[in-house]
């Protein structure tokens, strides 16, 4: 399974770890992602996570004191990786290209890390008992900041007046649909985002629908090669 463990540092403190310790910690997070996404918190076991990570239970418990600690670290890690593309939205950039880049990154994350999306969705649907404080603080601040960027583009006449918050919600809902409802998509089309042609088709269709909806021309007109 290609997991998120090696993509970025977790928000939990990892300072002072050796490379081997950091590698083992990421192996645990990747194994935990698969276990929790399939079994849920109550059905998952530390023993299976340890086995999937290729280590003993006692070795795993050196890094995380309990199943709840592993779950919390996995969710925090998913949230950090999932929000990284939003942080790169550049106020000085062209709105169409910035939003198109963000949409494509989100779709590619749904392609590469579908289990992460489904686990996060399940947590939120249950009331976000483990990550609600993060949603109400870090996530809220980031979204408010990026809503300000979109509002500035609107005030400058660069895109149609829309509610920036609902634009972000629409991007999240549309792009993550391809991970969270992949079974339904395969049933209807016989394909999913693991198909490179379908991935490209999805990126083009979703980007065009959203950008045209806010008054941005997409795809852009061809420009002469420099």
DSSP the chain: ---STTTS--SS--TT--HHHHHHHHHHHHHHHHHHHHHHHHH--HHHHHHHHTS-HHHHHHH-SSHHHHHHHHHHHHHHHHHHHHHT--TTS-HHHHHHHHHHHHHHHHHH-HHHHHHHHHHHHTT-TTTHHHIIIIIHHHHHHHHHHHHHHHHTTSS----HHHHHHHHHHHHHHHHHTHHHHHHHHS--TTSHHHHHHHHHHHHHHHHHHTT--SSPPP----
Same domain, 52 and 100: no
Same domain, 121 and 49: no
Lowest-pLDDT choice from 2-6, 27-31, 155-159? 2-6
| Axis-axis angle for helices 114-125, 164-180 (nearest 10) | 120
The tokens 């008992």 sit on which residue?
129
Same domain, 61 and 78: no
Q: What is the CATH number of the domain that holds 46?
A: 1.10.10.60
**Residue 188 predicted with pLDDT over 90:** yes
pLDDT bracket for residue 9 (50, 70, 90): very low
The tokens 């629409």 sit on which residue?
170
pLDDT bracket for residue 18 (50, 70, 90): confident
- Tell me what pLDDT residue 28 has: 97
Q: Determine the Cα angle at 93 with ends 91 and 96, to 5°.
A: 110
Is there a domain that residue 218 lies in? no
| Domain carrying residue 60 | 19-65
Count of structural domains within the chain: 2
Whether residue 80 contacts residue 8, with contact meaning beta carbons closer than 8 Å, is answered with yes
pLDDT bracket for residue 4 (50, 70, 90): low
Same domain, 88 and 49: no
- What's this model's pTM, rounded to 2 decimal places? 0.84
Same domain, 115 and 55: no
Same domain, 59 and 101: no
Whether residue 28 contacts residue 53, with contact meaning beta carbons closer than 8 Å, is answered with yes
CA-based diameter of the chain, in Å? 61
What is the average pLDDT value for the chain, to the nearest integer?
90
Same domain, 94 and 189: yes
Render pLDDT for 110-160 as a digit per residue (tens, 0 to 9). 999 999 999 999 999 999 988 899 899 999 999 999 999 999 999 999 999
Same domain, 204 and 123: yes
Same domain, 117 and 207: yes
């Amino acid at each position: 399974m290609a997991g998120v463990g090696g993509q970025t540092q977790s928000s939990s403190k990892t300072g002072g770890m050796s490379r081997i310790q950091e590698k083992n910690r990421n192996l645990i997070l990747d194994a935990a992602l698969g276990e929790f996404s399939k079994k849920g918190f109550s059905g998952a076991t530390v023993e299976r996570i340890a086995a999937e990570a290729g280590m003993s239970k006692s070795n795993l418990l050196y890094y995380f004191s309990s199943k709840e600690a592993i779950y919390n670290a996995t969710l925090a890690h998913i949230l950090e990786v999932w929000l990284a593309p939003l942080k790169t939205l550049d106020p000085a950039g062209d709105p169409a290209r910035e939003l198109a880049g963000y949409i494509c990154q989100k779709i590619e994350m749904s392609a590469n890390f579908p289990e992460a999306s489904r686990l996060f969705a399940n947590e939120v649907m249950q009331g976000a008992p483990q990550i609600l404080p993060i949603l109400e603080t870090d996530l809220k601040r980031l979204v408010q900041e990026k809503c300000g960027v979109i509002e500035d583009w609107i005030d400058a006449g660069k895109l149609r007046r829309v509610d920036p918050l609902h634009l972000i919600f629409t991007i999240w809902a549309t792009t993550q649909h391809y991970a969270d409802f992949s079974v339904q998509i395969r049933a209807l089309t016989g394909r999913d985002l693991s198909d490179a042609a379908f991935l490209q088709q999805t990126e083009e269709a979703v980007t065009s629908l959203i950008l045209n909806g806010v008054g941005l021309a997409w795809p852009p007109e061809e420009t002469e090669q420099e």
